[in-house]
Amino acid sequence: MSRAKSTLEQWRIIQSVVDFGGYAQAAEKLNKSQSSLNHAVAKLQTQLGIQLLEVKGRKAYLTEQGEVLLRRSRHLTQTVDELEQLANNLGEGWEPNLTIAREIIYPMHYLVDALKAFLPHSRGTRVTIIDSVMTGTHELILNNAADIAICGIPAKGHIAEPICESELFLVCSPSHSLAKQKVIADEQALAQYLQVVIKDTATHKTADTGWLKAEQRWTVSNFHEAKNILKTGIGFCWAPAYLVADDIAKGELQRLILKGSKSRMIQLSLLVPNRDKQGPASKLLESLILKQHDINHCVESIEESHI
C-alpha cells in the first residue's frame, strides 16, 4: 500500500492561508508562527512536485493547479471532520439513524415542521419515514422496527401520548350517483357501491379494520391513488379531511353526509416502542413533534440537554 505524500494538517494550513488572505493573517488565526506555515506549504509543494501558491507583494495567490487541488482538499477535510464528529456522537450514544412510523392519516406538515426544527441539531442523523396503515403500524411497533411511531389505536402493552385527532370525510366524485343524495340514510346504503380502501401495510394481517362492508372493494396503497380513482367517478372512500379539503373546494370531489355521522374522528398518538433504549436524538425529535401539538411536558429539559 502506497503512503500518502501529504497530511491533512498541511491541507488545512494552505486552506487557511488562502481563506485569511496570507501567511501572517493565517498564522494569527491559527496561533502558529508564520515561519511554520511557510515551511508546511513549501514542504507540501515539494512533496507533490507542484506549485500551489505564489506570493505577490504581501499576499499569497493560488496557481491554477492550486485551485483544483484546494477545491478537492476541502471535500477531504470536511469528510474527516464529519467522520470525527460522528465518532464523537456515537461515543455519546447519539443515534446515526432514526426511523419514524407514520400512520398515513397523520398530517405530514406537523412532522415536516418538527424535522425542520430537528435538522440544525441532528448531528448528521439520517431519518427514515415509513408510511404505515392500521395494523402495519402495530407490526412495526411490536417488531421494534421504529424509534418513534404515530398511530391510531396504540399497540397492546405500550403507553402512548395522544397528540391530535384526524378527521375523515366520506367523499366521492360529483358525478357519482351517491353525490345526488343529500343525506345517506345509513351505512348499509353504501354497501351496494364500490368502496376504495387503503391497503393495510402489515405483513401478517390478523383482522380487517375500519368500515369494509361494501360488496365491491378496490384496494390501493395510499390516498393519492384513491383520489385519482374517485375523480373518475368510481367508488367512494373515507379520506383524511386535510388531504381532500382542496379537492372538495375545487369541485373535484364531493363530501357525502351520512345520517348521524358527518365525519369520523380518529385519535392519533405518539409512541416510543422501546423507551428503555431510547437515545438522545430520538428524545429530541420526540419532544419537537410533541411541541407541534403544544404538548410541552419534559420538552425544555430534553432540548436544553441536547441543543
Residues 6 or more apart from 307 whose CB is under 8 A from it?
A: 121, 284
* Exposure on the CB side of residue 242, measured as CA atoms within 13 A: 11
Q: What is the pLDDT of residue 176?
A: 94
Q: What is the pLDDT of residue 92?
A: 61
Q: What is the pLDDT of residue 161?
A: 94
In the chain, CATH 1.10.10.10 sits at 8-91
Q: What is the pTM of this model?
A: 0.67
Whole-number Å distance between alpha carbons of 40 and 23: 11
Per-residue DSSP letter, 184: B
Is the pLDDT assigned to residue 184 strictly greater than 80?
yes
Whole-number Å distance between alpha carbons of 199 and 115: 27
Of the ranges 21-35, 63-77, 130-144, 236-250, the best mean pLDDT one: 236-250
Whole-number Å distance between alpha carbons of 82 and 23: 27
In the chain, CATH 3.40.190.10 sits at 97-163+267-306
Confidence tier at 287 by pLDDT (50, 70, 90): very high
More confident residue, 20 or 253: 253
Q: What average pLDDT does the structure give for the chain?
A: 86
Q: What is the pLDDT of residue 113?
A: 97
Q: Is 176 helix (H, G, I), strand (E, B) or coil?
A: coil
Is the pLDDT assigned to residue 214 strictly greater than 90?
no
Residue with cell 391513488: 225
| Gyration radius of the chain over CA positions | 29
- Domain 97-163+267-306 belongs to what architecture? 3-Layer(aba) Sandwich (3.40)
pLDDT (average), residues 251-280: 90
Per-residue DSSP letter, 6: S
Is the pLDDT assigned to residue 107 strictly greater than 70?
yes
In the chain, CATH 3.40.190.290 sits at 166-266
DSSP string for 195-221: EEEEPP--SS--S--S----SSEEEES
Is the pLDDT assigned to residue 297 strictly greater than 60?
no
Q: What is the pLDDT of residue 206?
A: 54
More confident residue, 127 or 262: 127
More confident residue, 32 or 298: 32
pLDDT (average), residues 276-280: 88
Fold assignment, 8-91? Arc Repressor Mutant, subunit A (1.10.10)
Specify which residues 34 forms β-bridges with.
none
More confident residue, 269 or 301: 269
pLDDT (average), residues 118-132: 93
Is the pLDDT assigned to residue 295 strictly greater than 50?
yes
Confidence tier at 301 by pLDDT (50, 70, 90): very low
Contact 181, 258 (CB under 8 A): no
Q: What is the pLDDT of residue 1?
A: 54
pLDDT (average), residues 153-167: 89
pLDDT-wise least confident of 242-246, 259-263, 281-285: 259-263
CATH of domain 166-266: 3.40.190.290
Whole-number Å distance between alpha carbons of 28 and 45: 22
DSSP string for 240-272: EHHHHHHHHHTTSSEEE-BTTBS-EEEEEEEE-
More confident residue, 80 or 307: 80
Q: What is the pLDDT of residue 299?
A: 44
Please give the span between the terminal C-alpha atoms of the chain, in angstroms, as a whole number: 42
Is the pLDDT assigned to residue 277 strictly greater than 50?
yes
Q: Which cell is 142 given?
A: 411490536
Environment class of residue 159 by beta-carbon count within 10 Å: exposed (0-12), middle (13-18) or buried (19+)?
A: exposed
More confident residue, 91 or 229: 229
Query: β-strand 217-220 against 195-198: which pairing, if any?
Result: parallel
